[in-house]
Structures are given as C-alpha cells and as structure tokens.
Amino acid sequence: MGLVEVFVKTNDPYDRNARLYPALLALFPLVAMLVTLYGISASALTNSVGIAFSLVIIFTMMNISREMGKRLELKVFDSWGGKPTTILLRHRDKRIDGVTKRRYHKFLSSKIDESFPDSQQETSNSDLADEIYQSATLWLLNKTRDKKKFNILFNENITYGFRRNSLGVKPIGLVISICCILWVLITYGVIQTINPIYNYVALTTLPVTATTSIAVSTIMLFGWLFFFTKTSLHTAAFTYAKTLLIACDDL
C-alpha cells in the first residue's frame, strides 16, 4: 500500500511539492553517495531491491516530514504569538492597512454571523477576539478550496507547506549530509584512525565519484543551514496568510 501511495502522491501538486520533495531533499545526499560510489558495481538484483527499499524509505520520510512539520508549526505559531491569519486580523498588527483590514472584518463578520471586536475589545479580551478571527479564517479556508479559482492561494499554500515540512525534517537532513561527507572521507582515507588523522594527499587524489558525493552533501548542508530557517518559513507563512485574506475581495 505504501508503494502505491508514493506513486499516487506524485500526481497531486500539494503532496508532491510539500511532502515528497522535503523527503527527497533529506535523502538526496545518501542517494547521491550510494549511486556515485556503489551504483555502477551493483548487480541488477541488488539495484531492484534497492529501488523497492528506497520507495519504502521515501514513503516513510514523507510521513515523518509531515509529522515533524506539523509539530514545528505549533511551536513557531506559539513563538510568533498566534497563527499568521489571526495576527494579521488583529487591530494592533499593522502589516495590513486599517482601511483594508476594516473591509475584511466587515465581510467576515457577516459570513460567520459574529461581531468582530474593536480595538479596545480586542485588548480587553484578546482570547475571545482570537477565537472570532480563527473562526472567520476557518470559514475562509473552506470557501477557497477551489484550486483553479484560487490558484495563487493554492501555490502559496504549497510554498508554505514545503518550507514547513523541510524545516521540520531539517535535523534529519543535517545528520544525513554530515554522515555522508564523513563516510566518503573515511572510505577514501582522507580521515584516518592513525596519525596523521587528516590525509591531505588522499584528499587531492579523490576520484570524481567521491568528489561528486561530497559536493552534493555539502550543498545540501548549506541549504539546510542557511535557507530552511524560521525566517524563510515566516515569510512563506505570512505571504500565504495575506493571500488568503485577499480572497475576501473575490468571494
């Protein structure tokens, strides 16, 4: 069943971009190392078994990345002070101008049949205000599920999901990248258990396959460290939230 689901999910734009790709990114250095170092010499049977095993690993990693992404989401929302849409709907947040925000409030209030708080009411009872904003967001989400009509919103959701799940699986990606680099260096005698620990001559004579594997792992290592961050997630989350609220003008 897992293998079938892997193929099915590759046909769904959200699953492919937000769930499959983070899993593949985490595994990419390992796959590159196995292919460059051992792929050519492996038998057909070994390759077939390896492919089947890889599909199982990919399916497992897809579920892990989603789960870790969801757990991370709860933590970052708490650190930000709430969900992005809730934050943007608050009077005290100035990322959306007052005129536009009042229009959103009026529209959403009429749809959920609940009066939105004014600035003073929001301050005096912030929990109730946030409940109203979250209820309005839930209504808005349910009304914007048409992927074709709200194509821009759907794409922003994919971007957010990709960055969230990638950041969630980041610890695994870092470990795999570092371990692959060390494995290649140890395998080719660049790092030794005897003195000198570092063999410069072995480094300069590394074959192209080993160099390729190290290059892939290093690129991914820098990607995990400097691109998949809470800052990039914050950007994607609030871009998606603003796009969702803009949908008020299309409903």
Q: Is the pLDDT of residue 115 over 70?
A: yes
* Res 50: pLDDT: 56
What value does the mean pLDDT of the chain take?
87
The Cα-based distances of 38 to 19, 56, 112, 189, 213 in angstroms read 28, 20, 60, 17, 11
- Asked whether residue 66 carries a pLDDT value surpassing 60, the answer given is yes
Domain ranges of the chain: 1-251
pLDDT tens figures, 192-220:
777 777 778 777 888 999 999 999 999 99
pLDDT of 189: 83
- Closest among 169, 157, 181 to 58, alpha carbons compared: 169
User: Given this model, what pLDDT does residue 123 score?
Assistant: 93
The predicted structure's pLDDT at residue 40: 55
Q: What is the average per-residue pLDDT within 78-95?
A: 95
The angle formed by the CA atoms of residues 79, 73 and 117, to the nearest 5 degrees, is 60
Confidence of residue 8 (pLDDT cuts 50, 70, 90): low
pLDDT band for position 31 (cuts 50, 70, 90)? confident
Q: Which residues contact 27 (CB under 8 A, 6 or more apart)?
A: 54, 57, 58, 61, 176
* pLDDT band at residue 15 using 50, 70 and 90 as cut-offs: confident
Q: Once rounded to an integer, what is the mean pLDDT over residues 156-166?
A: 95
Cα–Cα distance, 173 to 218 (Å, whole number):
11
Q: What is the mean pLDDT of residues 20-31?
A: 90
Nearest-angstrom CA–CA distance, 5 and 92? 45
